[in-house]
Amino acid sequence: MKKFAVLGSPISHSLSPLLHTTAYEVLGFEASYQKIEIKTGGLKTFLETLDSSWHGLSLTMPLKEEVLGRVDEISELALRIQSANTLFRKDQEWAATTTDVSGFAQSLNQHGIQANGHVLIIGAGATARAAAAACDGTASKISVLNRSTARIPDMSRAVLRSTLNFIDWNTQQIFDHVDLVISTTPSGVSDVLVEQFPITTKVAYFESLYNPWPTKALEEWKKRGGLAIDGLDLLIHQGIEQIAIFTQIEFDKAQMYTLLRKVGIKALS
């Protein structure tokens, strides 16, 4: 039986095993998929322990950047955003790519959202760079709100066509004149920005997290009339692309989304 897993830390909350095994059963794909706690610095050693029964790995934080120096082949897109969330066997070696960019794009498309105009991204890490790449060329302007300037070079490489600028975390009225907000910060970090939320809004707020469910920021945005896109959508859409890579089976992705969304909501409720 082929083996797959999601790696990261913390990993106990991950819904990836549930979603992948559900999809595998529907597709008649005989494989196992588990979650394994791997902390920073542990990926290289773990990969060295794997035998030929292992065919694919999903990566979450903090391994999306660490993996870049640990594999034989890296996709152009993963290099561009300096992040990979998918490992798969290619000619007996490990190849890395990212499905996070398409995950963001498909999630926005699912809700009929075009990343036009001014996009505000909260955070500047691996997930933020995937979001920026998904909006690049469609958005006229991408603004990045982050506490540190250390991530500026990597983010600058991820955005090739849209105008890019960086905003200090303490800037006021950051939600004025934006057409889409994407939050990519760890749990609780964006909650401090709630006091700056507009009284009313029609703008969409895309929360990349699904744990906690829902986040305080996403709930507060909905109360103000804005469209709320949750992190479960991102997890499902990037997962569907991984499933296609891992199984090499063609399937109806819209139907798979509907099934996995139902399963995911039930697990989170």
Where are the domains positioned within the chain? 2-98+233-268, 102-229
Assess if CATH 3.40.50.720 describes domain 102-229: yes
Per-residue pLDDT at 127? 97
Per-residue pLDDT at 182? 98
Fold matches, 2-98+233-268 and 102-229: yes
Per-residue pLDDT at 189? 83
Q: Are 125 and 184 in contact (CB under 8 A)?
A: yes
Per-residue pLDDT at 48? 95
Distance CA 122, CA 134 (A): 15
Distance CA 59, CA 68 (A): 11
Per-residue pLDDT at 198? 95
Topology of the domain comprising 2-98+233-268: Rossmann fold (3.40.50)
pLDDT averaged over consecutive 10-residue blocks of the chain (269 residues)?
Answer: 98 98 99 98 96 98 95 97 98 96 98 96 97 98 94 96 95 94 89 93 97 92 97 98 99 99 97
Per-residue pLDDT at 254? 98
